[in-house]
Amino acid sequence: QLQLQESGPGLVKPSETLSLTCTVSGGSISTNNYYWGWIRQPPGRGLEWIGRIYSTGGTSYNPSLKSRVTISVDTSKSQFSLKLSSVTAADTAVYYCARQYYHDNYPSYFDPWGQGTLVTVSS
């Protein structure tokens, strides 16, 4: 059974860079028809898609965050990572990683999700 697990610092100072890693187990990160993505949820609020990466390195980002986001992948470690620069308190959220199924001309969906990790931006 595929599992995803986020890891990284729970506290980041304003103006610094948030860095998280998602480790994939129970399956291959290089399987066809899957992207690997990040989604966040500020406390008590809704869900926001951050971006995604394919195992070969192709990326897509939310335009609202694009100037500050980098997602990368390390297939040898079955990991993909998120970097968000110049953070502010508005970036405080639970950050989830998720697998995104896709196929040409068919709706994609996120499944499964990691358990999430809370990142607080504060000095």
Which member of 11, 25, 47, 74 binds another protein (CB under 8 A)?
A: 47
25 is a site residue for another protein (CB under 8 A): no
Residue from 19, 23, 20, 21 nearest 3 by CA: 23
108 is a site residue for another protein (CB under 8 A): yes
Q: Please report the sign of the dihedral spanned by the C-alpha atoms of residue 115, residue 23, residue 71, residue 57.
A: negative
14 is a site residue for another protein (CB under 8 A): no
DSSP helix/strand/coil, 58: coil
Strand partners, 99: 36
Count residues binding another protein (CB under 8 A): 20
46 is a site residue for another protein (CB under 8 A): yes
Q: Rule CB under 8 A: which residues touch another protein? A: 46-49, 60, 62-64, 96, 106-116
